[in-house]
A = this chain, B = another copy of it.
Amino acid sequence: MKWTDLDENWCPVARTLSLVGDRWTLLILRDCFLGMSKFDEFATSTGATRHIVSDRLKRLVEAEILEKVAYSERPKRFEYKLTDKGNEFGPALMTFRDWGKKHLPVRRPTHA
Contacts and interface: CB of A to CB of B under 8 A. Distances in A.
Nearest to A29: B13
A51 interface: no
Q: How large is the interface on A (under 10, 10 to 19, 20 to 34, 35 or more residues)?
A: 35 or more
A46 B22 CA distance: 16
Contacts of A112: 10
Interface of A: 1, 3, 5-19, 21-23, 26-27, 30, 47-48, 85, 88-89, 91-104, 106-108, 110, 112
A101 B12 contact: yes
Contact of A99 (B16, B96, B97): B16
A97 B23 contact: no
